[in-house]
A = this chain, B = another copy of it.
């Protein structure tokens, strides 16, 4: 947990402790169909082991867009958070090698304006359609007294499928493997409590347009749509053997890259080898964030990381021109930025 994040009102340690308390109860529900230790980006359910339908591993993940909804409300722009949600979830199962099958959304607020819900779910549907994923269901709930007057929550669940042979990460990740980065479009869906606090403390409004944001208002830059990396990952998979992928979400590169690595390996990333989105630089400056804080709360431009053998770098970069070699795998746990 970073101090800046705690000061912004998000107690990651409390959430972590809660997860430990309930882990035993959760494990008790896991029969032989549940594959453990697969990095925990998404849960893995083996249809074959369950004896219910042919073969194939279902990969499922539930996530939300956090307090990005408050920026959406402030700007009156609702469709893009729907896209954020789907793209976030698609990326979360991509890192286990899975292809999306279907999605279900959950929208809740004290009051639901029909046009607002239609815009949100329209965004969900558009992002689903873009990746060939069925929007199979969903729920809208009005809960006076549970939600703050202007607050709404948006969460969703994706289910995808992967063959056992295609699951990621692969066990052969080794020191010397390269880390490629695919650029982020901005904050994606993490760090918004911190970002909103920094904006509020700086005395700026979401409608201000600092020169560094290249024409965008602060609000517009914060609402930049979470990128979906399905096309880039497909291009990479067609060209090279991906050994692992890491979607950089809450906890940043420090927490997420290790989820794709064996416990004894870590990574060293080299500053300057990836582009930092202007909105991230703006928040770091306005919030006076230390590097450790910034890379814990924000993706800082590292949207999706891919791990490949070093001799495959030319083919990977040719297949995905946006990718950059940003570092390498090494012995020893943890992520270092040098």
Contact = CB atoms under 8 A, between A and B. Distances in A.
Given A102-B43, A146-B70, A108 B155 contact: yes
A114 B15 CA distance: 6
A42 B157 CA distance: 14
A64 B113 contact: no
Interface stretch (A21-29, A224-232, A284-292, A309-317): A21-29
Interface in A118-171: 118, 121-122, 125-126, 128-129, 132-148, 151-153, 155, 157, 159, 161
B106 A11 contact: no
Contact of A159 (B29, B58, B105, B115): B58
B134 A11 contact: no
A43 B157 CA distance: 13
Given A10-B144, A106-B64, A47 B54 contact: yes
Given A29-B125, A117-B18, A122-B22, A144 B67 contact: yes
Contacts of A113: 14, 18
A15 B115 CA distance: 10
Given A53-B54, A106-B155, A122-B25, A137 B42 contact: yes
A111 to B, nearest CB: 7
Contacts of A104: 43, 60-62, 157
Contacts of A258: none
B15 A125 contact: no
Chain A interface, >50% SS class:
mixed
> What is the interface residue range for chain A against chain B?
35 or more
A53 B60 contact: no
Interface in A22-81: 22, 25-26, 28-31, 33-34, 42-45, 47, 50, 52-56, 58, 60-64, 66-67, 69-70
Given A102-B60, A104-B43, A118-B21, A135 B67 contact: no
Contacts of A139: 62-64, 155
Contact of A134 (B45, B108, B126, B157): B45
Closest 9 CB pairs of A and B: A54-B54, A43-B136, A53-B56, A146-B151, A21-B118, A18-B117, A18-B114, A43-B137, A25-B125
Given A18-B115, A62-B137, 13 more contacts: A10-B142, A11-B111, A18-B113, A26-B125, A34-B136, A45-B134, A45-B159, A53-B53, A58-B159, A62-B138, A64-B108, A64-B139, A146-B151
20 contacts: A11-B142, A15-B117, A15-B140, A18-B140, A22-B117, A26-B121, A26-B135, A28-B129, A42-B137, A43-B102, A45-B102, A47-B47, A52-B101, A52-B161, A53-B54, A62-B105, A62-B138, A64-B139, A70-B145, A145-B148
